[in-house]
């Protein structure tokens, strides 16, 4: 028995709807779908989530009497961030926000759901959107590093729960950091740019080496260039596959051991994309 977990930065859920995300959802129907950069008010998110649920029902993923579990948090700064999570699996608890971060700019960036798999395994799944940062704006870099520091605190708690025989954990999202030169097409040219700074990349080292999480996609793909999950809208980055791998699924070891395959659903052409990110899906044999 297996489950599929997808993470995808939507680059705006309303724009993604116009560009075909509903058809994608009905075709793919991941068991858990983590979304970032939803960037819409609640009154516009709800009907789109309703439509996605109808697609799941049509595809037979959820029954007529059961509904797709949903949660989301809208950023308090209009048009910014926003994260969501949809689950065809039972959800037993929901949590909003990261540790003690209460500033408006930190809202709509971290939500957690406790889910139960068909085999009875208990998981905590988080949808995460890390600040992009900007090397020309020290305040934005401060916001990013502050968020990353709180992530480490929460990851330590989640790992302790997993190591103690409790729920395994899975962090899914746009982390806005490419880890190594394998994760970015033009590494040398970006060493001083946000997203590939040495002081950002050390956090990924900590996630993997100090906090015991596994970069599931890289673990499955091995030491190959890419595959990438984001391409700039500028120039011909997508057509020439000049990309970055900044979308992750980070799992505690007990869950990572059950990952059997991954897929980056890169659109066949620039004009068929519904986001500048491609969805990252992982199958876990649970």
Six-digit token string for 28: 């793919």
The pTM is what?
Answer: 0.97
Q: Which residues contact 283 (CB under 8 A, 6 or more apart)?
A: 2, 3, 4, 259, 260, 261, 262
Structural domains of the chain sorted by starting position, each given as residue range(s) with its CATH number in brackets: 2-285 (3.60.10.10)
Six-digit token string for 272: 């068929």
Six-digit token string for 120: 């009875």
**Predicted pLDDT at 190:** 96
CB-facing half-sphere around the CA of 176: CA atoms within 13 A = 21
Q: Which residues contact 177 (CB under 8 A, 6 or more apart)?
A: 130, 195, 196, 200, 201, 203, 204, 246
**Predicted pLDDT at 64:** 61
Six-digit token string for 82: 């926003």
Q: How far is Cα of residue 259 from the mean position of the Cα atoms in its chain?
A: 16
| Closest by Cα among 170, 70, 85, 171 to 130 | 171
User: Can you list the alpha helix ranges (DSSP code H) found in 119-276?
Assistant: 138-163, 198-205, 216-221, 253-256
Q: For residues 86-114, b (16+ Cβ closer than 10 Å) or e, as one string?
A: bbbbebeeeeebbeebeeebbbbbbbbbb
pLDDT tens, N- to C-terminus, the chain (286 residues): 899 999 999 999 999 999 999 999 999 999 999 999 999 999 999 999 999 999 999 999 987 656 899 999 999 999 999 999 999 999 999 999 999 999 999 999 999 999 999 999 999 999 999 999 999 999 999 999 999 999 999 999 999 999 999 999 999 999 999 999 999 999 999 999 999 999 999 999 999 999 999 999 999 999 999 999 999 998 899 999 999 999 999 999 999 999 999 999 999 999 999 999 999 999 999 9
CA distance 276 to 266: 10
How buried is 137 (Cβ within 10 angstroms: 0-12 exposed, 13-18 middle, 19+ buried)?
A: exposed
Angle between helices 138-163 and 198-205 (to 10 degrees): 10
How buried is 199 (Cβ within 10 angstroms: 0-12 exposed, 13-18 middle, 19+ buried)?
A: exposed
């Amino acid at each position: 028995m297996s489950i599929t977990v997808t993470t995808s930065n939507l680059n705006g859920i309303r724009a993604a709807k116009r560009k075909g995300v509903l058809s994608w959802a009905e075709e793919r129907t991941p068991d858990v779908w983590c979304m970032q950069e939803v960037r819409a008010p609640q009154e516009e998110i709800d009907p789109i989530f309703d439509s996605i649920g109808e697609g799941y029902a049509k595809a037979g993923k959820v029954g007529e009497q059961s509904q797709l579990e949903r949660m989301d948090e809208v950023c308090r700064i209009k048009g910014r961030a926003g994260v969501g999570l949809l689950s065809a699996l039972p959800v037993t608890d929901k949590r909003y926000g990261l540790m003690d971060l209460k500033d408006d700019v930190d809202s709509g960036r971290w939500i957690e759901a406790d889910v139960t798999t068909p085999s009875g395994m208990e998981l905590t799944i988080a949808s995460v959107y890390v600040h992009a940062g900007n090397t020309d704006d020290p305040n934005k870099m401060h916001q990013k590093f502050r968020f990353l520091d709180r992530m480490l605190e929460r990851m330590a708690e989640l790992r302790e729960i997993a190591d103690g025989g409790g729920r395994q954990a899975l962090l899914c999202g746009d982390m806005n950091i490419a880890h190594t030169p394998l994760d970015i097409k033009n590494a040398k040219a970006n060493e001083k740019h946000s997203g590939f700074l040495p002081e950002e990349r050390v956090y990924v080292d900590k996630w993997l080496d100090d906090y015991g999480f596994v970069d599931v996609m890289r673990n499955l793909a091995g030491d190959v260039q890419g595959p990438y999950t984001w391409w700039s809208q500028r120039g011909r980055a997508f057509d020439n596959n000049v990309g970055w791998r900044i979308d992750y699924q980070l799992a505690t070891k007990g869950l990572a051991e059950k990952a059997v395959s991954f897929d980056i659903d890169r659109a066949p052409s620039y004009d068929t994309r519904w986001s500048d990110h491609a969805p990252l899906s992982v199958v876990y044999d649970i």
